[in-house]
Amino acid sequence: MQGRTKRYAAATLLGQALILAGCDRQAAAPDPAPSPAATPVAVARPVGPERLILAFGDSLYAGYGLDRGQSLPDAIEARLRRQGINATIVNAGVSGDTTAAGRQRLGFVLDNLPRPPDLVLLGLGGNDVLRQLPAAETRANMTAMLDELHRRKLPVVLTGMKAPPNLGRAYVTAFDGIWPDLAKRDSAGLYPFVLDGVIGDPALMQADRVHPNAAGVTRIADRLTPLVAAGLKPAA
């Protein structure tokens, strides 16, 4: 969601982001501060064989605007390892990627991993909605990627996207239904909206109001990591 979307007016992007945030403001309330007297929680050491996870997405995975090590895949990997899961996440997020671009490169990325991943995190669609691409095209591209992952017998967790209401009821219905439909079809894990509880909260978003800051990534990772852990099959 960077260079290739600059053709759209900044005001349009901001308006879409804020409208999209409307239903999520309650979820964005800050978490209660921990008690200073709280006893530190013991951190498990990673054990067992390495669990390889591919994070395949756009700038929301790539860590656009963040320092090295602050991306969403980095944050999830750290949480899994603190839970004792010997996880390594390969970050294949590319800023600006649409679902069509992801579809073109998915096979290449999979073929160049050291081995088939134990789980794939698939998060694309944000650039499609910012460009107002037809929802049918987004669905076709997402379906093709899931078909390829299914062919390779790879489990998937989808991180979904939602369209802003100002694009019209027909478009929103067609677009928002893509991820739950495909998750049901493929029995994939689903985190319905990757920016849930974050977008619309200035404390959790970068100045562009489209990408989460480090605190926003922390919020997303706290919510998403249990789903990722559940998606990992027991090590052989």
Catalytic residue among 24, 186, 208, 222: 208
**Is 211 annotated as catalytic?**
yes
Q: Map residue 230 onto helix, strand or coil.
A: helix
**Is 59 annotated as catalytic?**
yes
What is the Cα–Cα distance from 186 to 168, expressed in whole angstroms? Answer: 28
Catalytic residue among 59, 71, 97, 196: 59
Q: Residue 60: which of 1, 3, 135 has the closest Cα?
A: 1
Please work out, in degrees rounded to the nearest 5, the angle formed at the alpha carbon of residue 138 by the alpha carbons of 152 and 66.
85
Catalytic residue among 58, 196, 201, 211: 211
CB under 8 Å to 180, separation ≥6 — which residues? Answer: 160, 190, 192
Show the DSSP H helices in 21-154 as ranges: 59-62, 72-82, 99-111, 126-130, 135-151
As annotated, the active-site residues are 59, 208, 211
